[in-house]
Structure 1
Amino acid sequence: MKNNVFLIGDSAGFAEPITAEGISNAILSGKYVAEAIIESNLDSKLAEQRYVEKLNIKLLPELKSGALLSKFFYHNNPVRNYLLDKYGQYFNNIMVDILHGDRPFPTDVAEKLKNRIKEKIF
């Protein structure tokens, strides 16, 4: 926050890294700002603190995980090609569920995927 202005949505860099969709995260971050302002009784420092706390519960962990996964999926490499050939439909079903809002973005999937790949390679 600067000069009592909170950044939300695309202006805060909250576009989804895999699909580039940003409306849902803009709405969610706007909701978080409104809640933080109300909960803080208009105390700007407290509102900023509450906003960051709310972002760290769900939105920022999902964006971090999405960023890691996007690096994996958008780089052409043999491991990615193998996994998509073998499990492509499974990944597709998960992404459709996420985009429909039927399941949250898995915040630990990138770490699990990296560990699985290391196990298979080494």
Structure 2
Amino acid sequence: MPRSDRSPLLLAGLLATAGVAHFASPRQFDATIPRALPGRPRTWTYASGAAEIALAAGLALPRTRRTAALATAAFFVGVFPANVQMAVDWRHRPAPQKAAALGRLPLQLPLVLWARGVARTAARRA
């Protein structure tokens, strides 16, 4: 399988794993939900986990891949405030946790670009 054929499946696997983690261990995700959002953090945790699983399914299917990839890019942009919140909230934690929270911030850009690349490849194949 060529690398470009694996790319959407790898991205789908990443999203599916993260989505399942939202349900398996929601407390850690609750802490990242910006306080400005209405409702309970657990609701947002479950909603974002379900969205990640749905995006993963869309990426796995060639027929829905382009749309799912564009939605994935938008999702990564949309969850960036949660990563900022986590970095702010964890600024006084031990160094490894602080580093993990800060390390998530620049990771968003390559994820957005990866999703856009999957969308472009899917569009060329359609």
TM-score range, shorter chain: 0.3 to 0.5
Larger Rg over CA atoms:
1
Structure that is richer in helix per residue: 2
Q: TM-score, normalised by structure 2?
A: 0.34
The TM-score, its normalising length taken from structure 1, stands at 0.35
- Kindly indicate whether structure 1 or structure 2 has the higher relative contact order, using CA contacts under 8 Å at least 6 residues apart: 2
